[in-house]
Structure 1
Amino acid sequence: MSAQGLEVIDHTVQLTHEWINELRERLDWGSSRDAARLLRVTLALIRDHLNNEEMAQLSAQMPLLIRGMFFEGWQPAHTPVRDRNAVHFIGAIEKQVGDVQGWRGLEDIVAVFRTINSKISEGEVSDVKAGFPQSIRDMWPD
C-alpha cells in the first residue's frame, strides 16, 4: 500500500516513468525532461490528426499522466487538422523540440512511434495509423 493510500496515483507515476525512460533509452538522451517533452509534443500532434472517437480509444490505453499530456491544450474545434503533410508534421515537432541537444529529427520521432508501439495494443496502433495520410504512416514503423 502506498504511504498516502493513493495507489492509483503511485501506479500512474510509475507507468509514466516507464514510458519516458523507455523513450529516453531509445533516443540515447541523458535527459528524461527532454524525452518527456518530445513525447508530449508528438502525442499532441498525433491527437490533432485523429477524430474524437479514435482519440478516446487511444488515450484509454495510456497511463493517467500520459493521457493528461495527450489532452493538454486540446482544442476540439480545431481537430482533426486539415494539414496532413509529413514535412509539416515533422516541422511542427521540430519547432518545439529542435533546440534539444542531440535532436535528430525524424529518427527521434520514429523513437516515439516505437515507444507507442510497445505500450499500446497493435490493433489500436493500426487504427491510429489508418487515420494518417500515407506519407506519415510510412514514417511509423510496424
Structure 2
Amino acid sequence: MRLRARHPQCEHLAQGGRASPGNGRPPSRSPGPAHRLHTLRDRLTVEASAHLAAQLPELLRGAYYDGWTPSSVPIKYDTDGYVNRFVQEARVDAEDVPRMAAAVTTVVRDHVSPGTLESALDQLPNDICALLLQPA
C-alpha cells in the first residue's frame, strides 16, 4: 500500500524522501514519514497515540508503532526539545523541521477522520502546535 497525499511535497515525504533543500539538488533519503511521527507519538498519552494510530493507513501504522514503549510516554518537552528529537528521529537539519513537521501534519490530516488530529494536538503545548500547524 502506498500512502498518497494531495500536496506534492507531502507525496514526496510520504515516500520517505527528505524535503527539497531548495538548492536544485535532489533531496536525500531519510527514514520514512512514520519516523517523523515518532516525535509526536512520544509526546502524546497512550490513549491519544493509539486513537491517532488507529486511523493511519496499515503500513504507516506499523511503522508508527515501531520502537514504541507505552510505559515511557508521554515524554514532556518544549519546542526546542521537539525540534531536537525530530532532527534525531528523521535525520534532518533543524532548519528543515518547521517545513517538514507541517508537511507531515498535512499528510496525517488527509488520512484521518476530521477532528482526530486536532484531538491529539490538544495535548501539546501551544508552541509545538504552532510548529505543526503552520502552512506546509
Q: Please indicate the TM-score interval, normalised by the length of the shorter structure.
A: 0.7 to 0.9
Q: Structure 1 length normalisation: TM-score?
A: 0.72
Q: Structure 2 length normalisation: TM-score?
A: 0.74
SS in 2 for 1:139: helix
* Alignment partner of 2:66 out of 63, 66, 72: 72
Partner Cα distance (2:71, 2:54) in 1 = 21
Amino acid at match of 1:74: W
In structure 1, runs of 5+ residues without a counterpart are 1-12
Q: Is the 8 A contact 1:45 1:89 kept in 2?
A: yes
Q: Are 1:24 and 2:17 matched, yes or no?
A: no
CA-CA distance at 1:69 after TM superposition: 1.0
Kindly report the root-mean-square deviation, in angstroms, between the aligned alpha carbons of the 2 structures. Answer: 2.7
* Alignment partner of 1:88 out of 81, 85, 91: 81
Partner Cα distance (2:28, 2:114) in 1 = 26
Amino acid at match of 1:94: V
1:69-113 per-position Cα deviation (integer Å, ceiling 9, x unaligned):
11000111211112x2111111111124126xxx72211121111
Structure 1 pair 48–60 and aligned structure 2 pair: CA distance change class (3 A): same
Q: Is the 8 A contact 1:24 1:32 kept in 2?
A: no
Is the radius of gyration larger for structure 1 or structure 2? 1
Q: Is the 8 A contact 1:58 1:128 kept in 2?
A: yes
1:53-79 per-position Cα deviation (integer Å, ceiling 9, x unaligned):
111211111111101111000111211
How many residues are matched?
Answer: 122
Q: Are 1:55 and 2:43 matched, yes or no?
A: no
Equivalent positions of 1:115-126 (< 5 A) are: 115-126=107-118
* Alignment partner of 1:138 out of 119, 130, 134: 130
In structure 2, runs of 5+ residues without a counterpart are none
1:17-65 per-position Cα deviation (integer Å, ceiling 9, x unaligned):
x25x84416945856953xx25122211111111121112111111111
Q: Is the 8 A contact 1:44 1:69 kept in 2?
A: no
CA-CA distance at 1:136 after TM superposition: 0.5
